[in-house]
Amino acid sequence: MGVSAFANIKLNGLLTKHANFQNAFRVLITLLRASTGENWHLILQAISRDRTIDFECTKKPTYEDYKRNGYEAIGCGDSGLAIFYFVSFMLFVNLIFLNLFIAIVINSFGNII
């Protein structure tokens, strides 16, 4: 879902060549990084960024825009979709990690008691 929604966003801020949504491998790395809590809100800010004077981007880029930009992403972010995507991801992942942690602790102490 991340590739189809955010692959065309121009790299900015924490959205770099190492952490982006341009292919499935990078999405997994970026989401793993976000699931640890490391600046996930700054990645959210980078994928929801709109066009400003110092950030030139195209709202709905076409292939011609992509070609004119030297085959690099040139799109702007969608703040509504980005907020929904990241907040739901963080809630879902944190609940899973919390349940796994509780299961491990209960299993460890269950053998002692």
DSSP-H helix ranges across 1-113: 2-6, 24-35, 40-47, 63-68, 79-112
Length of the chain: 113
Extract the tokens encoding 38: 């490391």
Q: 51 with 45: CB under 8 angstroms?
A: no
Could you report the per-residue pLDDT of 58-71, keeping only the tens digit for each?
Answer: 888 888 888 888 88
**Tell me, what amino acid is at 100?**
L
Helix axis angle for 40-47 and 79-112, nearest 10°, is 160
pTM given for the model? 0.75
Could you report the per-residue pLDDT of 4-14, keeping only the tens digit for each?
Answer: 888 888 888 88
- For the chain, the structural domain boundaries read 2-112
Q: Which pLDDT does position 75 carry in this prediction? A: 82
